[in-house]
Amino acid sequence: MSDSLTDVVPVDRPTGSDDRGTDPAGAPEPRRRGPVRARYAVALAGLVVLLALPLYADAFWLQLGLFAFAAAVAALGLSLLLGQAGQLSLGHSFFVAVGAYGYTALAGSSRTVGVSRQAGLALPPAVAAVLAVLLAGLAGLLFSPIAARLRGIYLGIASLGLVFVGQHVLFNAPALTGGFNGRNVPDFTLLGFRFGTSSEETLFVLGVPFGREEKLWYLGVAVTAAAYLCYRNLVRGRPGRALRAVRDREAMAAIMGVPVSRYKGYAFLVSSMYAGLGGVLLALAFGRIVPETFGMALAVEYLAMVVIGGLGSAGGAVLGAVFVSCLPAVLERYAAVLPGLAPAGSAGVSPAVAAKFGYGAAVIVLLLVEPGGAAAAGSRLLAAGRRFGCRVRSRRIPHPSQPAR
């Protein structure tokens, strides 16, 4: 039974694919080829849909998708930190802000806006993005000694303090951040290709004009896919095992020779880099960032994403990110079709209020039904499917010891 906030994986929950049981020798269980092929087919189909989407979807879905990609990358980082390493950090939005503002300041140019001066290094955007990610990682690394001294919920709230201090700096350093008015985010360019809407010539793909959102969509898909694969590799390999050892039995891990502080620092470094990358994507998705965005509400949102998705699971982190970042907007868009809602301006349940109710109820119901999150629900469904498949197959080849069903 788990009673502590950091005992995040209950013993009898079906584990996600990233937490696969290992034999004592350390090699993963041999997988059967069928379901793996099926998985690849599904993934490929999904990828085709994603790649084709900008040809069909309007600006609302594209914009929403960009936010979802940014959230997914950041959520992967938090899933690593919380799910794999067991470090409860509520300060994720701070590292996201470092990535977002880092990219904006590094890629932006110095100019004078009225009386105030804005500083920027005018680096090539690709370089600025990489540096911003590294900067976020550095921030994480610097925070980790503090984190090493703290346990559980204390670490969580101390990291929350980081968010408030960070927001304070964002508001009070207008030369870097533009202050409360915000700062424009420079368009991303890679090898001469600009991910922006050009007024001179429009890129046409299959008859569809590709503007900033469409181009950024593909960047988002690529970055998220890379982040996802990187996460899975990490988690399946040695660092993943070490992190899980630190999470489950820290003292035992230390005895077995796992350098605990170093791995905790590593966890913070990598998760902050993921957060920074998510921040860069978020900045690009916005086009102009303001300090209000990077507050406690966002930090709690990331936590909700990884829990709703299923702690430690890569697919879960992405699903949770999509759920938390997209559902409120989607509900708000379609709430007006519900009958019996009062018009805005009068007392009564307006579509906006109904949308909020819907979101809160969805969070409650989802976690009530499956506290392990979407990943656990998925595993349960898959396991049920496999049992069903086994039962079907076993009809053809009855085992001597089992009665024919």
Partner 1 sequence: MTQFLQLLVAGVSLGAVYALLALGFVVVFKATGVVNFAHPALLMVGVYATARLRGVNHVPFALALLAGVGTAVALALLVQRLLVHPMAANSVIAVSIMTIGVDVVAQTEIARRLGADILPIGDPWQNRVSSVFGLTVPQTRLAALASGLVLIAAFFAWFKLSTVGIAMRAVAEDPETAALMGVRRARVAALAWLLAGALAAVAGLFLTVFPAPGLEPATGAVALRAFPAAILGGLDSTGGAVVGGLVVGLAEALSQGYADQLSFLGSGFHTVMPYAVMVLVLLVRPSGLFGTRELSRV
Partner 2 sequence: MSWSSTSPRRIAALAALAALLVAGGCTTKKADTANAGSSGKLATGPGVTDQAIKLGVLSDRTGPFAAAGKGIEQGRLLFWDERNAQGGVCGRKVEFVVKDHGYNTQNAVTAYAQLKTGVLALDELLGSPVIAALQPNVESDKMLTLAASWSSSLLGNPYVVITGTTYDVEMINGVDWLSRNKGLSKGDKIGHIFLEGDFGENAVAGSRAATKELGLQLVEHKIKPTDADLTAQVTALRAAGAKAVLLTTTPPQTASAVAVAEASGFDATFLASFPSFSPALLKSPARAALEKKLLLATSIAPVSATSAGPAAVRTALAARYPDQPKTSFVIYGYAQGQIMAKVLDAACKNGALTRDGLLTAFQSLADVQTDGLVAPLNYSKPGQIPARQTYILRPDAGAVGGLSQVQDLFESTLATSYQPTS
Contacting residues toward partner 2, per CB under 8 A:
32-35, 37-38, 40-41, 44-45, 48, 52, 55-60, 62-64, 67, 113-116, 171, 179-182, 184, 197, 204, 206-209, 213, 285-293, 297, 325, 328-329, 332-333, 344-346, 350-353, 355-356
Residue 253 beta carbon to partner 2: minimum distance, rounded to whole angstroms: 38
The nearer residue to partner 1, 169 or 230, going by C-beta atoms, is 169
Nearest C-alpha neighbor of 210 from the set 57, 50, 322 = 57
Report d(CA 169, CA 38) in Å as an integer: 49
* Closest CB 29 distance from partner 2, rounded Å: 17
- Cα–Cα dist 306/313, whole Å: 8
Three-state secondary-structure class, residue 104: helix
Of 171 and 228, the one with the shorter C-beta distance to partner 2 is: 171
Work out what residue 397 binds among partner 2, partner 1, none; the CB cut-off runs from 5 to 8 Å by kind: none
Provide, rounded to whole angstroms, the least separation between the CB of residue 49 and partner 2: 8
- Return the one option of partner 2, partner 1, none that residue 390 interacts with (CB less than 5 to 8 A, by type): none
Q: How many residues does the chain have?
A: 405
The four Cα atoms 12, 255, 90, 94 give a dihedral, to 10 degrees, of -140
First to last CA, the chain: 36
Residue 222 interacting partner from partner 1, partner 2, none (CB closer than 5 to 8 Å by kind): none
Residue 20 per-residue DSSP state:
-
* Partner whose footprint covers residue 289, from partner 1, partner 2, none (CB < 5 to 8 Å by kind): partner 2
Smallest separation, CB 340 to partner 1 (Å): 15
Q: What is the smallest separation between the CB atom of 326 and partner 2, expressed in angstroms?
A: 9
Residue 52 exposed, middle or buried by CB count within 10 Å (0-12, 13-18, 19+)? exposed
Closer residue to partner 2 (CB): 249 or 292: 292
Quick one: 299 or 355, whose CB is closer to partner 2?
355
114 contact, one of partner 1, partner 2, none, CB 5-8 Å limit per kind: partner 2
Nearer to partner 1, 6 or 224 (CB): 6
Min CB(343)–partner 2 separation in Å: 8
Residue 300 partner contact from partner 1, partner 2, none using kind-dependent CB cut-offs of 5 to 8 Å: partner 1
CB nearer partner 1, residue 55 or residue 383: 383
Task: Return phi, psi of residue 199, to 5°.
Answer: -85, -20
Shortest distance in whole angstroms from residue 334 CB to partner 2: 11
Say how far residue 89 (Cα) sits from the centre of its chain: 14
Q: For residues 248 and 332, which CB has a smaller minimum distance to partner 2 in the complex?
A: 332
What is the SS3 string spanning 347-389? CCCCHHHHHHHHHHHHHHHHHHHCCCHHHHHHHHHHHHHHHHH
Q: Which listed option, partner 1, partner 2, none, makes contact with residue 329 (CB within 5 to 8 Å by class)?
A: partner 2
Rg (CA), the chain: 23
Nearest alpha-carbon partner for 145 in 244, 262, 245: 262
Question: SS3 letters for 129-176?
Answer: HHHHHHHHHHHHHHHHHHHHHCCHHHHHHHHHHHHHHHHHHHHHCHHH
> Ramachandran region of residue 114, left (φ > 0), alpha (ψ -120 to 50) or beta?
left
Nearest CA-CA partner of 56 in 205, 196, 197: 205
- Beta carbon nearer to partner 1, 135 or 308: 308
CA distance 1 to 16: 18
Say which entry of partner 1, partner 2, none residue 184 contacts (CB below 5 to 8 A, set by partner kind): partner 2
The token pair at 327 is: 């559902």
Determine which helix (DSSP H) or strand (DSSP E) holds 265, and give its type and residue range: helix 260-286
33 makes contact, choosing from partner 1, partner 2, none, with CB < 5 to 8 Å by partner type, with: partner 2
What are the residues binding partner 1 (CB under 8 A)? Answer: 1-5, 7-10, 13, 88, 146, 149-151, 153-154, 156-158, 160-161, 164-165, 168-169, 171-172, 249-252, 255, 296, 300, 303-304, 307-308, 311, 347, 349, 353, 356-357, 359-364, 367-368, 371-373
Tell me which of partner 2, partner 1, none is bound by residue 197, counting a contact when its beta carbon lies within the kind-specific cut-off of 5 to 8 angstroms: partner 2
d(CA 196, CA 189): 8
Q: Which is nearer to partner 2, 291 or 320 (CB)?
A: 291
